[in-house]
Structure 1
Amino acid sequence: MTDRDRLLAPQGTDGPARHIAGRRRDDARAFASAGDFWPGDPAPDIGGGSVYSLDAASGTATLCDVGYDALTGAAFAYAEQAERARIMQSRAVDTLPLSDRPVIGLFSIGRCGSTLLGRVLSAAGATVLSELDAFTALGPLSRRWPGDAQVQDRLTAIAAHVKGHAATHAPEGPLVLKFRSQSMQAARAICGAGVTPVLLTRAFPDWAASNARHFPDDPLDGRIDAMAHGLSEMADLSPSILDYRALLADPVAAAALCLGHPVPPERQGKVRACLDRDSQAGTALAASRATTGPEHLSRAKRAWSRHRRADSLSALGLGADLLPLRTQGRGAA
């Protein structure tokens, strides 16, 4: 049986809950996996919890006993789950609940202020779940079979169940799912599950400089290729577009654009205060590109020239520098 066959004919089953006897997560940036935990003694079934990881090929989701209420507002849900989970349990992903609760999906190109935006949206009153890796796992699969309608339909069905679990068990309030940048490669499948997309971007030279500072050992060409593919996925979805400069200039307006409605006056002060206390705003993310060498920027520009897709950028209303060519959005401050 091929990988594609397994994906389309999942054999996922529910498993018994187990106490977590140990952890083996060596790379903090790696996608969450059931193998991160050593299963131990039997434990009570997980009634709610949260989806920790996804094995789409087998149709199995791994739940942990960390509820979405504990993850709301956390910068990296997968890290919180990995550290705080005490019980794990496998579930057939197709048995997870579905939900018609409205969900906003925050996609980004990475290194563009999405962590700050998550805090802004939390301050505006949203329930923000940031970087659940069950969605991240869909990105490479979508990329592997980009034109395969059956695969894409299957990924949408999986996304609907993962989204449904979060929407069923997350606290009340406007629900925002903030994704890792790799998830953008499966944007059509995720949004096909009833997620309203928002895309956060940043001027390409500043994006390249930030990547050089924070991920100097990552293959630059691969990151740019993945970003270009993700933007092509987004191009068919007509997302609201926000760029990092606009977020810093007016976080209240940025929150309104993402949420589709004005921020209540009593919350606007809290929203603006996020810029004062956020560890990234005005420092690492906003730093001058001069902190990286011109040779890196030249390499990045050459790679971007090879991989960028003019039709996708045009459909999104973005220039070659990844900045919006016109004002877009669903909300007003």
Structure 2
Amino acid sequence: MSLDTAATAPHERMQSALADDLAAVNALIRDRMASKHAPRIPEVTAHLVDAGGKRVRPMLTLAAARMCGYEGSAHQKLAATVEFIHTATLLHDDVVDESHKRRGRPTANLLWDNKSSVLVGDYLFARSFQLMVETGNLRVLNILSNAAAVIAEGEVLQLTAAMNLATTEDIYLQVIRGKTAALFEAACEVGGVIADQPEGVVRGLAAYGDALGIAFQMVDDLLDWGGSDGVLGKNTGDDFRERKLTLPVIRAVARADAAERAFWVRTIEKGDQREGDLEQAMALLLAHGTLEETRIEALDWAARAKVALDPAPQHPLRDMMADLADYVVARLT
């Protein structure tokens, strides 16, 4: 999901407040994505890094650390670590999903090949571990390495859950915690750890990241169906075509009568999709109210994220982080 640009957007205010840190992180990323012997590595990495991402995850690491009074530079290495992990997962995801576009540009696997995307992603994972070790903090190494494992686990779980109508809401939540929320959580948590904050603050930052990541992904899943109003456009319905079970579909399947279930078996489990099926799927989601329910769930997770910040020190960056939680769900209201 991309964040809309606006003069008052919280992520833009954070970019301004953290401008020096972000410049240092960007310089570090460029330095560490270099390779003496394999020029394709910086070529592939630069294609994705320069594609206009908002750097939300590394920015949360910087914001959490600065909010907690940290004055060193290790948080910059942690922010670069977070961005490398994120970029590596995107390279791998595009291969797994056979994607052709990312952030409006051709994917690396399309411009080069699958082998290059996978191997460059592996290189970035290795670089991320080098960076986190350089901080000399064993706890942040544990947090970020665990997040990398959870992300991979979530992607594998999504593979087994896709096209399977037995997928439950618990499994869905586990998938989105892995594929999205785990890195948000770790990004925030290590900011508090490197600033040597009390355990209550660190746990609050982790809970904020987890809830923000879940809200973020639920919004993404809902907008793929045109939002809670179910207004189809040219970019909607990809999850249906790819036979992914997101929350609106899982709930509609759980409430389906025999005829409706036969429709879901044909289109999702068997992949036999025909003209008008997307519109029929949309009608079922609207009839069962699952799009509106997903909207309410996303808003609830955003509210949880804001509450989780309560133990954190009073700071303008804390206000921006709270505003960011509202902002990621703003298009649903």
Q: Is the TM value for this pair above 0.5?
A: no
User: Which structure dedicates a bigger proportion of its chain to strand?
Assistant: 1
More contact order relative to length (CA 8 Å, sep ≥ 6)? 2
TM-score in terms of structure 1 length: 0.29
| TM-score for the superposition, normalised by structure 2 | 0.29
